[in-house]
Amino acid sequence: MCGRIDLIIVNREELIASGDKKIRAEMLDILNAAIDAIDPYGCVKKALQINDNEIRIGNETLNLESFSRIFVIGAGKASAKMAAAINDMLGEKITEGIVNTISEGRVGKIVLHKATHPHPGIEGLVGALKIKRICEEAGENDLIICLISGGGSAMMPCPAEGITLEEKKMTAEMLMLAGATIEELNTVRRHLSCLKGGNLAKAAFPATVLSLIISDVINDPLESIASGPTAPDPTTFNDALQVLKKYDLLDKVPRSVRERLERGGEENPKPGDVVFNKVKNVIVASNRIALEAAQKKAREYGYETIILTSSMRGEARDVGRAFARLGKEILHAIESRDTKRMIIAGGETTVTVRGKGKGGRNCELVLGALLELEKGITILSFGTDGIDGNTDAGGAIADCHVFAEEAVEYLANNDSYSYFKKHRGLIFTGPTGTNVGDIVLLAVSRKE
């Protein structure tokens, strides 16, 4: 493990008071182990080794004495803890820093600037402009350490010329409500921004940029994590235009957005561009790392386990039902009452909002699974940031003992939060300070 978060499930006792109490308690412990493994502070300290005036990253070394100044910038839900690690490692060597994140304060010379999520706000814009100023003022002999994590796209908004923050926000909201994937959302965001899609690297050139990244995107594509501020953008204006057309939004988004994408212009920096010659992108934590930690803990509890995928995607309710069906197949194949099996998966599903209820993709996944669960199957789905959509829960846990006919009605209204609040299945932790997407645990054991 990289570090320790000490995840506090504030309603743990309530969650294990019903159903299979032992299985539920074990699943919550397994979840805790997964979150511990992606602690931003520990993962940064593991990725970098600093000896005297050298930073070693893998097989590469940076000589700190060769830099006139060291700046720290970044954005995302995990960036505050990442900044704390960098401050503890470099301390007085840091010239200046600002990180847009969910909290505010200061660690050494690094300002923690509060920004909003999931929708961009004026606070994030103010911080983004300061980040842009640092990049533009940095010179050839300066080092910029960039700390990027999930949520960074919304937390570091810097609209392109001619587009207002409100227009960009409206466009993102429309795409999310339509069920667009994170990749599609970020394809559009990159072409409405002056920092995303490699443009932060462009602003920083010719300074040296070391970008430390915690990935919340399936398969860890650099261009999609926080919309890729320090990575080449393989997509085009036309690609962004096609996303809007796919969801029938081209005539519904603000006119300035439509006109910018239709007009095109200078594309974002592409692979091979000179602005990336002095940029090093390093992924320090990912969904896969969390899943492997969960698997290790599950085996300690005697589960036969498999990591099904770290690339889970699709409509949340449909994915949940697929897990329930898989659980039934496993259940019917188990011959011994002593056998416990667990399927572990990660990624990020989507929710197409048709109702007026409340709930995020993790709660909706579990509610979808409830429609087909049988005795002996327990499912848990959790967003590793501790925040499921626009709710104060991180996800939910359930088995067939909480099933009720009303679940169908709640699902039709996208009201999974209200359902699990009523049936005491919500998992409350508060923000974890990290984010690598979602984790699903499916436990199967024969009880009769």
> 40-158+193-233+268-285: same fold as 12-38+288-445?
no
Per the listing, tokens 């920004």 go with: 115
Beta pairing partners, 346: 439
Task: Provide mean pLDDT across the span 32-56.
Answer: 93
**pLDDT grade for 202, boundaries at 50, 70 and 90:** very high
pLDDT at 369 over 60: yes
| CA nearest to 97, candidates 76, 75, 77, 78 | 75
Give the residue-averaged pLDDT of 420-431. 95
Give the lowest-confidence range in 57-66, 98-107, 396-405. 396-405
Distances (CA, A) of 88 to 42, 56, 97, 139, 432: 11, 16, 14, 25, 20
Cβ burial of 86 (10 Å; 0-12, 13-18, 19+) is buried
Distance CA 43, CA 51 (A): 17
Give the global pTM. 0.87
Is a pLDDT exceeding 80 seen at residue 405? Answer: no
**Domain covering 40-158+193-233+268-285 in this structure, CATH number:** 3.40.50.10180
Of the pLDDT bands very low, low, confident and very high (cuts 50, 70, 90), residue 305 is very high
pLDDT tier for residue 447 given thresholds of 50, 70 and 90: low
- The per-residue pLDDT for 265 is 87
Q: Reduced to 3 states, what is the DSSP secondary structure of residue 117?
A: coil
Stretch 344-366: mean pLDDT, rounded?
Answer: 95
Q: Cite the beta strand spans of 42-93 per DSSP E.
A: 48-51, 54-57, 60-63, 69-75
Position 5 scores a pLDDT of 59
Distance CA 142, CA 323 (A): 50
- The CA distance from 185 to 263, in Å, is 19
Domain-by-domain residue ranges, the chain?
12-38+288-445, 40-158+193-233+268-285
Q: For residue 301, what pLDDT is reported?
A: 97
The whole-angstrom separation of Cα 6 and Cα 349 is: 26
Helices 255-263, 237-246: crossing angle, 10 deg rounding: 130
Provide the strand spans (E) within 326-429.
340-347, 377-383, 395-399, 426-427
Q: Is the pLDDT of residue 352 over 80?
A: yes
Whether the predicted pLDDT of 295 surpasses 90: yes
pLDDT at 282 over 60: yes
Residue 1 has pLDDT above 60, yes or no: no
First and final C-alpha spacing in the chain:
37
Predicted confidence band of residue 128 (pLDDT cuts 50, 70, 90)? very high
Could you tell me which of 152, 444, 150 has the C-alpha nearest to residue 326? 444
Looking at residue 6, what is its pLDDT? 61
Please, what is the average pLDDT of the chain?
94
Q: Would you say 185 and 120 are in contact if contact means Cβ atoms under 8 Å apart?
A: no
Band of pLDDT at residue 4, cut at 50, 70 and 90: low
At 307 the three-state DSSP class reads strand
The top-level CATH class assigned to 12-38+288-445 is alpha beta
Which residue from 112, 89, 90 is spatially nearest to 102, judged by alpha carbons?
A: 112
| Cis peptide bond upstream of 221, omega within 30 | no
| Sequence-separated (6 or more) residues with CB below 8 Å from residue 183 | 217, 218, 221, 224
Question: What digits encode the pLDDT tens for the residues 65-84?
Answer: 999 999 999 999 999 999 99
> Mean of the pLDDT values across residues 268-293?
97
Question: Residue 448 pLDDT more than 60?
Answer: no
Average pLDDT of span 15-25: 94
Confidence of residue 3 (pLDDT cuts 50, 70, 90): low
3-state SS assignment for residue 404: coil
Q: Among 4-13, 42-51, 70-79, name the one with the lowest average pLDDT.
A: 4-13
What are the CA-CA distances from residue 288 to residues 30, 250, 274, 308, 428 (Å)? 15, 36, 32, 11, 23
DSSP state of 406: H
- pLDDT-based confidence at 252, cuts 50/70/90? very high
Average of per-residue pLDDT across 327-333:
95
SS3 content of the chain, % helix, strand, coil (to 5): 40, 20, 40
Give the lowest-confidence range in 209-213, 230-234, 347-351. Answer: 347-351
